[in-house]
A and B are shown apart, each in its own frame.
Chain A
Amino acid sequence: MEQPVPPDHPGRVTNRHHRRVGRALAPYLLSLPSGLWLLLLFLVPLVLMLSLSLKTCSPSTGACVMAWHWGEFSSEMSLYHQEFITSLYFAAASTVVDLIISFPIAYWIAFYGGRRKNFFLLMLLVPFFVSFVIRTIVWEFVLSNNGVILGALKHIHLLPSGFHILGTSYAVMAGLAYNYLPFTALPLYVALERIDRRVLEAAYDLYATKRVGFMKVIMPLAVPGIFAAFLLTFIPMFGDYVNQEILGGTSNTMIGTVIQNQFLVTLDYAGGASLSAILLVVALLGIFLYARLLGSRTIEQYL
């Protein structure tokens, strides 16, 4: 067995010194690889994109020159404001639908889920076990003119035979609402689950009825969660283009489709970059408002 080193041994001192330097560096060494990765592949590209939106690119060679071309934003906005409004409308409407659908079930699981809570949460997440694109294709099948739903309803003459949903804005919103429902339901569940039951009991002890307890205790405490759910659903929906391309046909173009086309089809990098920048600003504005109203730390609890 090794002899224990006495405290005044010189070797021990340098060892301790090394350890102290190592300990001081530890947080930086631990965060360095992720930091570099996020800096080079997340932050730098965002800054680059912002600068790209101010450049002018030659359509023939694709070479871009810095021109401080602020007019790009206004010209893109005048060209594509309709697509922005469509995206805003689709995303807002589908998010509200998701909030209405998922609040009761989130409430039920949080307050009455009992031992089967995990099972019900898994059921809320079940769409995520099928690939996003496949999920959307299946909705195309479900909503098709003679598919499972419309076909059956037409068969019993509840709908006229010319009735269709595919290619309309309703199909896009139905797809969005289905695909992003877990994004709404989970933050709502987390918010409701966190509510201290003793506060509710205190309200009942003070003669609050169930209705009053719900309206005056549960709802106010759930408000940050409702806003977080709204943001976490609205932001990805706003940039989504898969639902629109598969379910919306050629009409109701959303801004995501335009951005994707500019980057991949027409190779208009400056235009695509400025539209993306506007999209990012809209998203950041929502997050900033949330942080100002409800505090920046709270939204992270729902991620």
Chain B
Amino acid sequence: MTLLDQPTALEVPQLEATKKRRWTRFVLPTYSWLVIAYLVFPIVIMIFYSFNKTIGSMQLVSFSWNGFTSQWYHQWSNVPGLTASFWLSIRLALVSTLIATVLGTMLAIALVRYRSPRFRGKGAFEQVIFLNIAAPEIVMGASLLGLFVTFNIGRGFLTLVLAHVMFSIAYVTVTVRARLAGFDTALEEAAYDLGATPAVTFSRVTLPLIMPGVLAGALMAFAISIDDFVTSNFLSGSSVPFPVWVFGATRVGIPPQVFVFGTAIFTVGIGCAILSIVLARKKA
């Protein structure tokens, strides 16, 4: 076969292919949009039911549709236990995110910058981080409960913070490390050459450059913490976070305000996500 033969030989199967695929090329996009509809569908149902009237004096959600009301949005804080658990979850997520982001970023810098002779135990660190992400959450929750029971440590806000930081560090580290991998160390060397101290170099050069990764890690830690049920259920004791409260409520009946909080969290979360995509696109 000569080189000249190639173009004509190539065109034949491709032309046939495009002719045959005229209608099949819609299959994949249609399917994908159906999957997206499937993913969004329960969220629409949740928002829908947050406007549902209740029957009787109990004010608990029912499966049937009883008519439209925006009453639950006006009375969003009428269920004391629910509101308290929501603010507890927010406080818990803020505190554990702050700690986990600082610790996880430090670890990520150590893991990216230093290799075996200068950083012994790097391999062990990487394995522990991997194990931490891969271990079933129920095992981590149960084993922490065992620890606190063994040492007679009372369960409450403090034990929740200890646990949430524990399972967030690995996620922050992985996220920041991915961002650091493409970091140009020449920029730091330039700062040193110009007489900057390590502290100044870190705060004026390194940190601003890895900030997007740090923020992404922090958002991840926040999202994991505020949504955590399994571990929190083992450790909550007297201070009950939002998901644990809601799960407890499934046994006695769910007040419609649960869906109001669900809708609010969803709106804020998706708003932030869309904003970040739009900002990223503007920069690009």
Contact = CB atoms under 8 A, between A and B. Distances in A.
Interface of A: 19, 22, 24, 26-28, 30-31, 33-35, 37-38, 41-46, 48-49, 52, 101-102, 104-105, 107-109, 112, 118-120, 122-135, 137-139, 141-142, 144-148, 178, 181, 204-205, 207, 209-210, 231-232, 235-236, 238-242, 245-246, 256, 259-260, 263-264, 269, 272-273, 276, 279-280, 283, 287, 296, 299-300, 303
B89 to A, nearest CB: 9
A33 B103 contact: yes
Given A41-B166, A133-B247, A134-B258, A300 B125 contact: no
Given A118-B280, A238-B136, A283-B136, A126 B107 contact: no
Contacts of A123: 36, 39-40
Interface string B107-141: 10111011000110110011011101111111110
B58 interface: no
Contact of B135 (A124, A273, A283): A283
Contacts of A287: 134
Chain B CB within 10 Å, residue with most, of A37, A52, A235, A246:
A37
Interface string B124-163: 0110111011111111101111110110000000000011
| Interchain residue pairs A-B with the least CB separation, the first 7 | A239-B136, A45-B143, A27-B119, A30-B110, A27-B114, A239-B138, A49-B143
A123 B29 CA distance: 14
A299 B269 CA distance: 28
Interface stretch (B72-80, B183-191, B208-216, B270-278): B270-278
A130 B64 contact: no
A235 to B, nearest CB: 6
B150 A246 contact: no
B104 A34 contact: yes
A38 B166 contact: yes
B49 interface: yes
B265 A131 contact: yes
B67 interface: no
Chain A CB within 10 Å, residue with most, of B113, B144, B147:
B147
A34 B103 contact: yes
Contact of A148 (B45, B107, B109, B125): B45
Nearest to A107: B28
Contact of A45 (B103, B113, B125, B146): B146
